[in-house]
Amino acid sequence: MPSPAARGPGFAFVGERLWLDFVNADPAAGGPDALEDFESLVRWLEAAAVVDPDRAAGMRRRAQQQPAGAAAALGDARRVRDALRPLAERGARDGAIRGDAVAEINRVLGRSAGTRRLELRGDGTFARAFVPGGDAFAGLMIPLVESAADALILHELPRVRRCADARCHRVFYDVSKNGGRRWCDMSTCGNRAKAARHRARGRG
Ligand SMILES: [Zn+2]
């Protein structure tokens, strides 16, 4: 894993789960929007180690040649994120939201990134083949929806929390032993709360 400082231009990775980090790269959560444009998406995917630098470079080249494909990939990523935020915030309590998220996860998983084929070769032999059906943009959302699928399978939603700072929209998976984590990040929201308590004591 790259160090946090090397992980990119201001994206926060405090969610403890890939799908929650994706939800947090949202303007509502403050900080840069991973889906502001296609380049932001590539930067986020690279910072999150979903794609390696080679693939990211390929995506950038391809986006120049095929802007419509890049725009479609960006639209798709927005649609996925729009389904994942409600799952993070209310999915533990709301079965309808879980149902919508499952439909969205299956929509992404159902689009195969390639085709399996049986081929008859020129010499008369048969071979299995895998033909990538997509392009540089294919399958980008699969690791994200798989991360959300894992949260459902492993029953993690009851421990997915929103930061206790009402101004902060970040969500995280609480990995603390006692399940008492309150802040998205001790160095920002947690510290602010500590300083506020300190000031309150000073006044009292
Ligand atoms: Zn926070």
| Banded pLDDT at 198 (limits 50, 70, 90) | confident
| Banded pLDDT at 168 (limits 50, 70, 90) | very high
Find the farthest-apart pair of alpha carbons in the chain and give their distance in angstroms, rounded: 89
Quote the ligand 1 centre to 61 CA distance (angstroms). Answer: 36
Output the pLDDT for position 1. Answer: 43
What are the tens digits of pLDDT across the range 21-71? Answer: 999 999 888 788 999 999 999 999 999 988 889 889 999 999 999 999 999
Region 130-151: mean pLDDT is: 80
Output the pLDDT for position 7. Answer: 46
Quote the ligand 1 centre to 88 CA distance (angstroms). Answer: 15
Quote the ligand 1 centre to 185 CA distance (angstroms). Answer: 6
Quote the ligand 1 centre to 135 CA distance (angstroms). Answer: 37
Domains of the chain with CATH codes: 4-111+138-203 (1.10.3300.10)
Quote the ligand 1 centre to 105 CA distance (angstroms). Answer: 27
Which residues are within 5 Å of ligand 1 (an ion), measured at CB? 163, 165, 168, 170, 184, 189
Quote the ligand 1 centre to 165 CA distance (angstroms). Answer: 6
Output the pLDDT for position 27. Answer: 85
| Banded pLDDT at 131 (limits 50, 70, 90) | low
Q: Quickly tell me which residue has 């690791």 as its tokens.
A: 143
Quote the ligand 1 centre to 132 CA distance (angstroms). Answer: 41
- Does the predicted TM-score (pTM) go above 0.85? no
Region 191-201: mean pLDDT is: 85
Quote the ligand 1 centre to 187 CA distance (angstroms). Answer: 10
Output the pLDDT for position 199. Answer: 85
Quote the ligand 1 centre to 55 CA distance (angstroms). Answer: 32
Quote the ligand 1 centre to 164 CA distance (angstroms). Answer: 7
Quote the ligand 1 centre to 161 CA distance (angstroms). Answer: 10
Question: Within 13 Å of residue 36, how many CA atoms lie on the same side as its CB?
Answer: 13
What are the tens digits of pLDDT across the range 73-129? Answer: 999 999 999 999 999 999 999 999 999 999 999 998 888 566 667 878 788 888 775
Output the pLDDT for position 4. Answer: 43
Q: Quickly tell me which residue has 């840069």 as its tokens.
A: 32
Output the pLDDT for position 41. Answer: 97
pLDDT at 182 over 60: yes
pLDDT at 5 over 50: no
Quote the ligand 1 centre to 183 CA distance (angstroms). Answer: 5
pLDDT at 133 over 70: no
pLDDT at 132 over 70: no
Region 143-161: mean pLDDT is: 95
